[in-house]
Structure formats: C-alpha cells, structure tokens
Structure 1
Amino acid sequence: MNSSEIDPRELERKIEQANRLASRITDQTTVQRLLQFVGDLRAKLRQRRAARRTQDEIRARARELWEQNGCPEGRDLEFWLRAETEISERDED
C-alpha cells in the first residue's frame, strides 16, 4: 500500500502520535524532525481527502449521466470516463 492509499484515520492517528511524542522530547533537532513529519502527514491527509472527494464527485456525476441516458447496461466505463473528464476540466479552471 502506498501513501496515497493509507486510510485517513490512520494518518490522523500517526499525526496524534507524533505530536504527543514531540511534546515529550527536549532535543530540538528531534522535535523539528517530528514536526516536519507531522507536516508531511497532514499534507498527505489533505491529498487523500481531496482524492476521496473527487472520486465521490465522479461517482455521483457518472450516475447522473447514466440515469439521464436511461440507465443502459454495460456502459459504466463510458459514463465514468465522461464524468471524470468533466470533473477534471472543471478543476483546471
């Protein structure tokens, strides 16, 4: 599992652990490294949440397209790709 697949709850748990650990350490170099680690984990958490929101938006839009087209069987990928394109073009603006 790569870092983009890590569950957001697991990232939150790691952030809490690193913060607790940093509060107990007196060596400033170690504290700085831990705080950098926390910053990196927070960035990954934001990325993961944004990716999940995007997937949810694509799923919802693909369903809308599917329903608008009479709920045809076997065209899932077509509607998914169209929704994905719409969402990515919208996000580029």
Structure 2
Amino acid sequence: MPSDERVSRRELERQLERARRLAAVTTDRTTYERIRDFADDVREALQRLVSRRRDQDEIRARARQLWEEAGCPSGRDLEFWLQAERELTDAEAIDR
C-alpha cells in the first residue's frame, strides 16, 4: 500500500470499502485474514491522515490568533506558524 502521505482521504476510504466488500464474500480463511490485515493498515493510514490535518488546522488557527494579537504584521507568517507549532507541541507533551 502506498504511503498515506501520497494518498488522499477519498482514496483511503475507497480502499477500505473495497476491502470490506471483498472480506464479505471471501470464504478462504487465509485470504480473509490478509484482507483484514490490509483493511487495518488502510484504517490506520486514514487515522494518521485525519489526525495530521486536524493538527494543521489547530496550528493554523493558533498562528492566526498570534498574528492578530501582534497587530496583523505582514511578512511574519512563518514566525507565527512556528510559534503556534511550538505551543501546541509543548501543550501536547504536558498532557502526556
């Protein structure tokens, strides 16, 4: 299976549905287990993709908040993005 970084959410969902349909009609135990393992891999890739997008949305929202608090200066996008990443990473580490 291709890396989930190169595969869209729609494609992963399509692969998962295809695996589900194949598993439903498969009578051979070994084939069924391989399809199930494949479906598990696809499901994990989908979860990573969704999680990564959610993280980026959180970073984007925090970076915008920092930018607005600083008076909306131009040319400092990267600075605010990196600060937001650090804050969210630090908060995540504390939660663990």
Q: Which amino acid aligns with 1:23?
A: A
- In structure 2, runs of 5+ residues without a counterpart are none
1:51 and 1:15 map into 2 onto residues whose CA distance is 19
SS at match of 2:5: helix
Query: Normalising to structure 2: TM-score of the pair?
Result: 0.91
Structure 1, 13-22 or 1-10: larger mean CA deviation: 1-10
Conserved 8 A contact 2:12-2:46: yes
- In structure 1, runs of 5+ residues without a counterpart are none
Query: Normalising to structure 1: TM-score of the pair?
Result: 0.94
1:49-84 CA-partner distances (Å, limit 9, x unpaired): 010000000000000000000000100000000001
Aligned-pair identity (%): 51
Counterpart mapping for 1:1-93 below 5 A: 2-93=3-94
Conserved 8 A contact 1:5-1:48: no
Question: How many equivalent residue pairs?
Answer: 93
